[in-house]
Amino acid sequence: MPDLPPDPGRATAATRAGRALLLAAAATLGLLAVACAGSDGSSGSAGTATTVAAPRSVTVEIVDGEFDPRHVEVAVGGSVTWVNNDQTEHMIAWTAPNVIGSPLIGKAGSYTRSFDAPGEYRYYCSIHNEMKGEVVVR
């Protein structure tokens, strides 16, 4: 035969208050956890959205006496390959920084250079000086 507490109404109210506090605390912790997860996720995606990563490798076609595309971007440590789809030979020379250019690139030939430092690398064809291009490394 169960004994009732001396003051059931008061005990119940206290128990309810305690449960409400616990629920509020749990809800707050839960919201904080969700908020943290949300901010972590959004900061990651915001970072990739504002700075689109440059590709690791890029191909530039040489056709009709032009570099196509003339402007390319590549990641630091990445490489650019020039493919000669023209009928004549071409040869890449660098304006700055001053580095050795390519050997002669014959018909259907190609030349690949990797870039280890960020910067703007301008080049031209040492046979046809009007042919110009640029590689941005970032």
Where do the DSSP E strands lie in the chain?
57-63, 66-68, 71-74, 79-84, 92-96, 110-114, 119-125, 132-137
Stretch that binds Cu ion, among 13-21, 45-53, 67-75, 128-136 (CB under 5 A): 128-136
The residue within the footprint of Cu ion, chosen from 60, 80, 125, 137 (CB under 5 A), is: 125
CB 96, min distance to Cu ion, A: 19
CB 91, min distance to Cu ion, A: 6
Residue 126 and residue 114: Cα distance in Å, rounded? Answer: 20
Q: Residues 43-55, buried b or exposed e (16+ Cβ, 10 A)?
A: eeeeeeeeeeebe
The residue within the footprint of Cu ion, chosen from 127, 132, 134, 136 (CB under 5 A), is: 127
CB 128, min distance to Cu ion, A: 4
* 128 near Cu ion, rule: CB under 5 A: yes
CA 66, 72, 77, 79 dihedral sign is: negative
Closest to Cu ion by CB, 115 vs 124, is 124
**Contacts with Cu ion in 76-105 (CB under 5 A)?**
90
CB 130, min distance to Cu ion, A: 9
Neighbouring residues of 5: CB distance < 8 A, sequence distance ≥ 6: 11
Report yes or no: 86 and 63 within 8 Å, Cβ to Cβ: yes
* 113 near Cu ion, rule: CB under 5 A: no
| Interaction site with Cu ion (CB under 5 A) | 90, 125, 127-128, 131
